Amino acid sequence: MPTVEVSDLKDGDFLLDVREDDEWQAGHAEGALHIPISDFVARYGELTEAAPQDGRVNVICRSGGRSAQVAMYLVQQGIDAVNVDGGMQVWAAAGRPVVTDDGQPGFVL
């Protein structure tokens, strides 16, 4: 499974958050696309519309398990996708901003 370290992600890299709604609402990376893993297959078209045509999809969850499943599925569909190693826990620990929908500071649930 291809992975990427949080420290290797740059501002503006495409990020797909596959955590559930309550986790997202507690806090997420600003600018990430949110499609919960439980809705992923039904909402797959949202990803293909939003993802950069020639860019990579960086998939993140809380710790890396769910995002690894989604990243593997995307790779099987021919999409350049990688799992963000350690997920939002490492994101927050690295000092990356975690926000709520209204832009306030959030936290990783």
**Coil/strand/helix, residue 98:** coil
Positions annotated as catalytic residues are 61
The answer to whether 58 touches 13, Cβ cutoff 8 Å, is: yes
For residue 84, the cross-strand partners are 4
The answer to whether 80 touches 32, Cβ cutoff 8 Å, is: no
17 Cβ contact list (under 8 Å, min separation 6): 24, 28, 29, 32, 33, 34, 35, 60, 61, 88
